[in-house]
Structure 1
Amino acid sequence: MMNLMHWRLLVAVADHGSITAAAERVGMTQSAASQAMAGMEAALGAQLFTRAPRNTLPTALGLSVIEQARVMLGALQTIRRTVDHARPMLRGSIRIASFPSVLAKFLTPQLQRFAQLYPGIEVTPLEVTDSEVDTLLEAGLIDLGVVLNPQPERNATLLGRDLWLAVLPADHALAQRPSEASVSLEELLQQPFVLATGGCTANARSLGAEAGLALGDIRVQVREWSSAFSLVREGVGVTLVPEMTLPVERRGLRVMPLKVPVHREFALVATPRRPLSSSASALLQMLAQ
């Protein structure tokens, strides 16, 4: 079943010539965007794009479909403007806290769209660690916060999910496996390791602990994912990262899935200190579309 996100993704791929760039534009992971495109083509029963190593180009039929998609999205925007002009403008403010990767790759484009729909609402995003998000929520200092793998009782609004992936130097022994091969969490954690946290409590160490495994040889610990990738390129060790943190330039790196996939979910949770404001409710409703 196709929804508005599929059509926005279709137009973004045409505009950027790349599924990776289009995924970032609409706030999806690269694998989710690829799956969405494949699902759309399967649902329509036609190929809309041709995939080349460096770009993704529309077919002749794809050009016609994209043109109609632009008309449809433009009409939807016109409807929204008409409704906005006919009703009093919603005004207010939202303070929202998130850890860096979700804020940069997912929330920022969504907040830009929200600003177009609700220009009277001021949104203040805060970049913090995941433990700081919980502290701010409990203190009532923010309206909404992004949390990882929320418990059902928190009444969270799911934003998305991605996979944890192994990243190794291209010349590492494990990286010499066939292109479709995977690596087990146990054998990965036994390697010389670059522990990257991204400022989050959920990282390779905590994932290992949940599986009853320990990191035996941590060569260095860093906060920034980008630093970890540089150290892996230099052969310092291997690492384990969320899919959305992967760099566009992967020369010198081998990215491998885990044999038993491990996901992380990220979702918005409201502060328990007060009722949800109309401004925050409008944001959650937009994200749910």
Structure 2
Amino acid sequence: MFDSRHIRTFHEVVRTGSYSAAARALGYTQPAVTQQMKALERDVGSALFVRVGRGMRLTEAGEALSRHAGSILDSMAAAREQLNAITRLRSGRVRLCAFPSAVSTLVPEALARLAASHPGIRVDLLEDEPPASLRRLARGECDLSLAFSYPGLREEVPEELVGTPLLEDQLVVLLPARHPLARRRAVRLTDLADERWIAGCPRCRANLLHECAESGFVPDIAFMTDDNLAVQSLVAEGLGVSMIPSLVLNFLRHPEVVGRPIQPVTRRRIVAYVLREHLRIPATALLLEELRTVAAHKTGC
């Protein structure tokens, strides 16, 4: 591994033709230049210059190094500039993985805020449900993952991940607008024991089964889909009822369905996860902060 200072000094010696001229150009003493060239020759394992009369010429090793020295210094300067841009948040890239209802609610506003304040930061968006999204994060396929969990279900989070709670999203029951219970301000799960149900993703289905079991019945699950628009359409046609997050009602509102709070109250917990070492990456930390800001606003709505 070559010392960048030695390469720079070597390049100046070649350009100016002598140690003394290189020392003047760089603001060094001539002995300092001599010591640097001796150190570089030790790293190379060969002499770089030979004396010819009062001057010097490059050896074969020196010629080879000289052909690359300029490009090495240019690459280092470009790398330094790129790193400065990243650390000063003029540029950067973050790979975000999020579940569908977060992609439709939390994520767009957070990305808009980030683009307004730091337009040089690029965010690549992936969509996946937990726990698959957390496994992708642990494998390094993304830099930040949004996931949700339910209080009654066991959750396994890889130990190398750090979670930042964003909000608690209350669940509601989705009913056809003409359903007799649609007139109530809240609905007890036990009142829905004889209904057909439309379940969502595997984690949401597991929570539905758990909540209904806690209320003393097994739900008749007629359909399963993680498409929120499809869920609302099925409910609107009277084909079943569904348990959905409040966030979904923020971006989908079928005219023939209504959402009512569930009793007892059930909430899912939304958390942003990163690999521990990624907390020190400026662009990732900034996106996480924007997500926290947006989530706080929605919590207060």
Say whether the fold is shared (TM-score over 0.5).
yes
Matched, 1:167 2:195: no
* Aligned match of 1:58: none
Compute the displacement of 1:147 (Å).
1.2
Matched, 1:254 2:258: yes
2:283 maps to a residue whose letter is S
From 281, 285, 288, give the equivalent of 2:285. Answer: 281
* Aligned match of 1:269: 273
Mapped to 1, the partners of 2:140 and 2:114 lie a distance apart of 23
Compute the displacement of 1:271 (Å).
2.4
1:201 maps to a residue whose letter is P
Local SS of the residue matching 1:258? strand
Alignment deviations for residues 73-107 of structure 1 (CA, whole Å, 9 cap, x no partner):
xxxxxxxxxxxxxx955422111100111011111
1:268 maps to a residue whose letter is A
Local SS of the residue matching 1:235? coil
Mapped to 2, the partners of 1:88 and 1:254 lie a distance apart of 47
Mapped to 2, the partners of 1:211 and 1:248 lie a distance apart of 25
* Aligned match of 1:206: 207
Alignment deviations for residues 152-201 of structure 1 (CA, whole Å, 9 cap, x no partner):
985422232321101112232333x44x3x22223325311122x1xx43
1:231 maps to a residue whose letter is L
Listed as ranges, the gaps of 5+ residues in structure 1 are 1-86
Local SS of the residue matching 1:266? strand
Question: 2:176·2:236 contact (CA, 8 Å) conserved in 1?
Answer: yes
* Aligned match of 1:235: 238
Matched, 1:147 2:132: no
Percent of aligned positions with the same letter in both sequences?
26
1:1-289 mapped onto 2 (5 Å cutoff)? 88-149=88-149, 155-175=162-182, 177-178=183-184, 180=185, 182-195=186-199, 197=200, 200-209=201-210, 212-213=213-214, 215-246=218-249, 248-272=252-276, 276-289=280-293
Local SS of the residue matching 2:113? helix
Mapped to 2, the partners of 1:271 and 1:89 lie a distance apart of 20
Mapped to 2, the partners of 1:257 and 1:201 lie a distance apart of 22
* Residues 281 and 254 of structure 1: CA distance in aligned 2, closer, same or farther (over 3 Å): closer
Compute the displacement of 1:272 (Å).
4.9
Question: 1:138·1:272 contact (CA, 8 Å) conserved in 2?
Answer: no
Mapped to 1, the partners of 2:230 and 2:288 lie a distance apart of 33
Question: 1:138·1:273 contact (CA, 8 Å) conserved in 2?
Answer: no
Mapped to 1, the partners of 2:237 and 2:112 lie a distance apart of 37
Instruction: Give the root-mean-square deviation of aligned CA atoms.
Output: 2.8
Question: 2:279·2:285 contact (CA, 8 Å) conserved in 1?
Answer: no
1:202 maps to a residue whose letter is R
1:101 maps to a residue whose letter is S
* Residues 223 and 149 of structure 1: CA distance in aligned 2, closer, same or farther (over 3 Å): closer
Asked which structure has the greater CA Rg, the reply is: 2
Mapped to 1, the partners of 2:121 and 2:139 lie a distance apart of 22
Question: 2:212·2:218 contact (CA, 8 Å) conserved in 1?
Answer: no
Question: 1:162·1:242 contact (CA, 8 Å) conserved in 2?
Answer: yes
Compute the displacement of 1:140 (Å).
1.5
Local SS of the residue matching 1:119? coil
Question: 1:204·1:240 contact (CA, 8 Å) conserved in 2?
Answer: no
Compute the displacement of 1:258 (Å).
0.8
Normalised TM-score (structure 1): 0.60
Question: 1:100·1:127 contact (CA, 8 Å) conserved in 2?
Answer: yes
* Residues 120 and 254 of structure 1: CA distance in aligned 2, closer, same or farther (over 3 Å): closer
